Structure 1
Amino acid sequence: MGFLQTYARVLGLLAPDKWVAMGLALAALALAGLQFLEPVLFGRVVDVLSSASRLPEDEVWRQAISLLVVWAAVGLTGIAANVAVSLLADRMAHRNRLAVMHRYFQHVLAMPLSFHGDTASGRLMKIMLVGTDHLFAIWLSFFREHLVTFITGLVLLPLTFLMNWRLALVLLALVIVFIIVAAFVVSRTQEAQEKVEDYQSRLAGNAQDALSNVVVVQSFTRITAEAKLFGDIMRQVLDHQFPVLNWWAVVSVLTSSASTISVITIFMLGTWLHMNGQASVGEIVTFMGFATMLIGRLEGAVGFVSRLLMQVPGLREVFSVLDARTSVPEKPGALDLPRAQGEVVFEHVAFGYPGGGLILNDVSFEAAPGKTVALVGQTGAGKSTAMSLLQRLWDPVDGRITIDGHDLRDISLESLRRNVGVVFQDAMLFNRTIRENLLIGRPDATQEEIEQACRMAEAHDFIIRQPQGYDTRVGERGASLSGGQKQRLSIARALMKDPPILILDEATSALDAATEARVQKALQVLMNGRTTFIIAHRLSTIRDADEILVFEHGKIVERGSFSELVALGGRFAELVRTQLSGPETKKPDPVAT
């Protein structure tokens, strides 16, 4: 996307406010016309005064007073128009900045894991905040200042040729010089500024990465190393930024020099034309006013173009995120699935990440409504990937997955995920109150329903011991709670959602033996009547599963009940023997997900 294309797209974002924008454009046209009139009126006053010796005194006073009244009216109208433009432009810019920010935020939240895996959250935040600030600044300066400059150059400058084409040539030359110099510098600095913006984004990404893992940074004495890495990127920012600033400093000096030369040229040329009867004193004064006005506009435009050049890479990043398309698109008119019965079928499903080999290959199984299916196998066998496909975080590259006979790709994402509940290995709590975290499961739940779910999840007792009870903030990612407490809140959250299909992703892995025994009872209540998938960590927790699927290298190599698979003496029996051969705390678990 080129420089001008980016600028045009920024202005195109104001389409919802097109009538306000059109009104501001008309106001800008009026302002440009009023500003054009002021030097003309000044020149006419000078001509009237210079002809005083040839006209009756009363006539001179009459013309002078008439011109001054018109001049005062023009000035007052200009002030009123300026106030109106400033207020309307400010409000419109603020309103649309927040609208773009909201659109960006909603779009990023809806993007699949493939997108978030490739882009750091700190970088996304930086792009949103910096990019929308750039949009606000451009909209505001465009309607307050630079639209008037554009109209002056495009519409009013040609009118000066009707007054005195010889003096108008000087103004035209000034504008041409400015355009050439600005275009040259833009071409020399655009690529460098894009590198600056890339380093700025890396700076934000590294800072967020270190801050979100501050415990690791402190535990591994990485403070100095992380600060050094931050400083190295910061120096790269400056190394690329300074040459850009130098170029625009040169442009500023050249613009000022050209302005001074233009004024002197108009004065000298005007004097010569006056001596030859081709220009009046008033015309010379008028063109001096035009030059002064145009010089101010061009100097402002130089500053605007230099800022815009520095903002364009950030704006392109905003647009690249907004233009990003999901890898799990929703079909037009997708089915809004009501509460599902819970029949889940995998039909010859295969999946691999782009550019990689297959992680799942020809996986087929069926889970009847209300049944419990356990998935076991070594790390990387494909268990968690299969459950990610069930939530449609990815789409299979072959085969299909159905719920109640409907292909997941035919179901709206919102209704699909409304029917699937997950208790994650990591509780993933928001930096909000306990109550707000629980209400994510069901926003309209009453306090009694919240407490009932927490009692079932063995969480109520520890919650009421918190400083503010259910209104206690849990910190970033639940930092103020223990692993077991966070996991019990996660289970309570799933209880409140009440989904017909449930995924337990090592749901009790963070609990001690005593708490796990209590939570298992709660999970049995949660699982009752639901189609449940358990990604198993400890094989003892899946003894009662209706069916166990043993994954290996992306395929299901064994299936059956616990007793059937042990009796078979195959891969599952070997996994059971491995776990029973010694304490899990002293030996890595071969079936960790």
Structure 2
Amino acid sequence: MGFLQTYARVLGLLAPDKWVAIGLALASLALAGLQFLEPVLFGRVVDVLTSADRLPQDVVWRSAISLLIVWAAVGVTGIAANVAVSLLADRMAHRNRLTVMHRYFQHVLAMPLSFHGDTASGRLMKVMLVGTDHLFSIWLSFFREHLTTFITAIILLPLTFFMNWRLAIVLLVLVVVFCAVAAFVVSRTQEAQAQVEDYQSQLAGNAQDALSNVVVVQSFTRLNAEARLFGDIVRQVLDHQFPVLNWWAVVSVLTRSASTLSVITIFILGTWLHMRGQASVGEIVAFMGFATMLIGRLEGAVGFVSTLLRQVPGLREVFSVLDARSTVPEKPGALDLPRVQGRVLFDHVAFGYPGGGLILNDVAFEADPGKTVALVGQTGAGKSTAMSLLQRLWDPVNGRVTIDGHDLRDISLESLRRNVGVVFQDAMLFNRTIRENLLIGRPDATQEQLEHACRMAEAHDFITRQPQGYDTRVGERGISLSGGQKQRLSIARALLKDPPILILDEATSALDAATEARVQIALKALMAGRTTFIIAHRLSTIRDADEILVFEHGKIVERGSFDELVSLGGRFAELVRTQLSGAEQKKASVAA
């Protein structure tokens, strides 16, 4: 996206406020006209005063007073118009900045895990905050000041040729020189500024990465190393930023020099023309006023263009995120699924990540409503990937996944995920109150329903012991709670949501035996009457599953009940023996 295309898109974001923008444009046109009139009126006053020796005194006074009254009216009108433009521009810029920020936030939240896996959250935050600040400053400065500059240069500057074309040529040369110099510097600095923005994004990403893992940083004495890494990126930012700043400093000096030369040229040329009878003193004064006005506006425009150039890479980052398309797009008119019975079918499903080989190959199974299906196998066998397809975090490359006979690609994402609940290995709690964390899946739940779910999840007792009970904040990622407490809150959250289909993603693998026993009680209450899929490494936790699917290299190699698979003496039996052997060795070491 080029420089002008980026700027056009920035203005295009104001489409919801197009009538306000049009009004501001018309007001800027009026302001430019009023500013154009001031030097003209000043020149006419000077001409009237210089003709005092040739005209009757009363005529001179009447003409001068009339011109001064008109001049005062023009000035007052210009002040009022400036106030109106500033107020409207401020409100429009603030309103649309927050609108874009909300749109960005909503879009990023809706993007699939493939997007978030490739993009650091710190970078996304930096892009949102910095990019929307850039948009705000561009809208505000453009409509407050620089639109009037462009109107003056494009529309009103040609009118000076009707006053005195010889003096008008000097003003035209001034504008042409400014535009040529600015275009040259933009071409020389655009790429360097884009590199600066890349390094700025690296700074944000590295800082967020280190802060989110501060325990690791401190435990492994990485303080100095992380600080050095941050400092290295800072130095690279400065190494690329300083040459850009140098170029724009040169532009500023050249613009001021050209402006000064223009005023001197108008004075000398005007004097020569006056001596030849081709220009009045008032015209000379008026054109010097035009030059002074243009000088001030062009200097502001130089700063605006240089700022815009520095902001373009950040704006492009915002647009690249907004333009990112989901890998699981929703069909137009997708089915809004009501509460389902819970029959799940994997119909010869194959899946592989873009650019990689197949992770799942010809996976086929069916789960009837209310049944419990366990998925076991070594790490990387495809268990979690299969369940991510059930949540439609990805789409299969072959085959289909259905719920109650409906292909997931035909169902709206919101209604699909409303019918599927997940209890993760990590409880993933927000830095909010216990109540707010529980209500995520069902915001309209009553206090009675909240407490009922927590009692079933074995969580109500420890919640009431918290300093503010259900209104206690849990800290970032639930840091103020133990692992078992967080997991029971996660189960209570799923119970409150009451989904007909449930996924338990190694929900107890990170817990000790005593805590796991309490969580298992809560899980049994959660699983009752639901189609449940359990991803488990501890095979003892799936003994009561209706069917166990053994995954290996992306395929289902065995299926059956716990006892059937053990008696079969195959891959599952080997996994059981391995875990039992490991448990016995652990007991022996503890006894020793």
**TM-score of the pair, normalised by structure 1:** 0.98
Which aligned pairs between 1:305-316 and structure 2 lie closer than 5 A?
305-316=305-316
* Corresponding letter in the other structure for 2:435: R
- Say yes or no: does 1:80 pair with 2:91: no
Per the alignment, in what secondary structure is the counterpart of residue 393 of structure 2?
coil
Instruction: Give deviations 1:418-451, integer Å, cap 9, x for gaps.
Output: 0000000111110101110000021011111111
Q: Distance in 2 between matches of 1:459 and 1:584?
A: 32
Counterpart residue number, 1:38: 38
Q: Distance in 2 between matches of 1:510 and 1:444?
A: 31
Instruction: Give deviations 1:222-270, integer Å, cap 9, x for gaps.
Output: 1111111000000000000000000000000000000000000000000
Gaps of 5+ in 2: 588-592
Tell me, yes or no, if the aligned pair for 2:487 and 2:519 is still in contact at 8 Å: no
Q: Distance in 2 between matches of 1:200 and 1:144?
A: 29
Per the alignment, in what secondary structure is the counterpart of residue 582 of structure 1?
helix
* Corresponding letter in the other structure for 1:515: T
Per the alignment, in what secondary structure is the counterpart of residue 504 of structure 1?
strand
* Corresponding letter in the other structure for 1:197: E
Q: Distance in 1 between matches of 2:515 and 2:476?
A: 24
Per the alignment, in what secondary structure is the counterpart of residue 54 of structure 2?
coil
Give the superposition deviation at 1:585: 9.2
Give the superposition deviation at 1:382: 0.2
Instruction: Give deviations 1:518-575, integer Å, cap 9, x for gaps.
Output: 3222211211111000001210110110000000000000000000000000000000
Counterpart residue number, 1:460: 460
Give the superposition deviation at 1:492: 0.6
Give the superposition deviation at 1:464: 1.4
Instruction: Give deviations 1:374-399, integer Å, cap 9, x for gaps.
Output: 00000000000000000000000111
Which aligned pairs between 1:157-236 and structure 2 lie closer than 5 A?
157-236=157-236
Give the superposition deviation at 1:348: 0.7
Instruction: Give deviations 1:266-304, integer Å, cap 9, x for gaps.
Output: 000000000000000000000000000000010000000
Q: Distance in 1 between matches of 2:367 and 2:88?
A: 60
Which aligned pairs between 1:481-520 and structure 2 lie closer than 5 A?
481-520=481-520
Q: Distance in 2 between matches of 1:251 and 1:112?
A: 45
Instruction: Give deviations 1:445-484, integer Å, cap 9, x for gaps.
Output: 1111111111111111111121111111111111111111
Gaps of 5+ in 1: 588-593
- Say yes or no: does 1:107 pair with 2:132: no
Per the alignment, in what secondary structure is the counterpart of residue 143 of structure 2?
helix
* Corresponding letter in the other structure for 2:486: K
Give the superposition deviation at 1:221: 0.8
Per the alignment, in what secondary structure is the counterpart of residue 378 of structure 1?
coil
Q: Distance in 2 between matches of 1:530 and 1:128?
A: 40
Q: Distance in 2 between matches of 1:200 and 1:519?
A: 45
Counterpart residue number, 1:329: 329
Counterpart residue number, 2:473: 473
Tell me, yes or no, if the aligned pair for 2:197 and 2:313 is still in contact at 8 Å: yes
Counterpart residue number, 1:367: 367
CA change 1:563–1:171 in 2 (3 A) is same
Counterpart residue number, 2:590: none
Per the alignment, in what secondary structure is the counterpart of residue 366 of structure 1?
strand
Counterpart residue number, 1:298: 298
Give the superposition deviation at 1:514: 2.5
Tell me, yes or no, if the aligned pair for 1:487 and 1:510 is still in contact at 8 Å: no
List structure 1 runs of 4+ shifted beyond 3 angstroms: 584-587
Which aligned pairs between 1:520-559 and structure 2 lie closer than 5 A?
520-559=520-559
Counterpart residue number, 2:407: 407
Q: Distance in 2 between matches of 1:12 and 1:550?
A: 54
Counterpart residue number, 2:266: 266
* Corresponding letter in the other structure for 2:279: A
* Corresponding letter in the other structure for 2:375: L
Tell me, yes or no, if the aligned pair for 2:457 and 2:525 is still in contact at 8 Å: no
* Corresponding letter in the other structure for 2:307: R
Q: Distance in 2 between matches of 1:17 and 1:67?
A: 39
* Corresponding letter in the other structure for 2:135: L
Per the alignment, in what secondary structure is the counterpart of residue 52 of structure 1?
coil
Give the superposition deviation at 1:516: 2.0
Q: Distance in 2 between matches of 1:517 and 1:155?
A: 80
Give the number of equivalent residue pairs. Answer: 587
Give the superposition deviation at 1:146: 0.6
**TM-score of the pair, normalised by structure 2:** 0.98
Q: Distance in 2 between matches of 1:316 and 1:302?
A: 21
Counterpart residue number, 2:276: 276
Counterpart residue number, 1:318: 318
Q: Distance in 2 between matches of 1:277 and 1:515?
A: 102
Instruction: Give deviations 1:54-113, integer Å, cap 9, x for gaps.
Output: 111111010000000000000000000000000000000000000000000000000011
Give the superposition deviation at 1:582: 2.4
Counterpart residue number, 1:240: 240
Give the superposition deviation at 1:583: 2.3
Q: Distance in 2 between matches of 1:377 and 1:351?
A: 17
Per the alignment, in what secondary structure is the counterpart of residue 365 of structure 1?
strand
Give the superposition deviation at 1:493: 0.5
Q: Distance in 1 between matches of 2:229 and 2:276?
A: 71
Counterpart residue number, 2:29: 29
Counterpart residue number, 1:141: 141
* Corresponding letter in the other structure for 1:304: F
Counterpart residue number, 1:590: none
Counterpart residue number, 2:347: 347
Q: Distance in 2 between matches of 1:557 and 1:172?
A: 81
Tell me, yes or no, if the aligned pair for 1:342 and 1:501 is still in contact at 8 Å: yes
* Corresponding letter in the other structure for 1:7: Y
* Corresponding letter in the other structure for 1:59: V
Q: Distance in 2 between matches of 1:585 and 1:325?
A: 51
Instruction: Give deviations 1:197-233, integer Å, cap 9, x for gaps.
Output: 0000000000000001111111111111111100000
Q: Distance in 2 between matches of 1:62 and 1:113?
A: 78
Tell me, yes or no, if the aligned pair for 2:484 and 2:519 is still in contact at 8 Å: no
Counterpart residue number, 2:567: 567
* Corresponding letter in the other structure for 1:365: F
* Corresponding letter in the other structure for 2:8: A
Q: Distance in 1 between matches of 2:485 and 2:229?
A: 35
Q: Distance in 2 between matches of 1:583 and 1:345?
A: 35
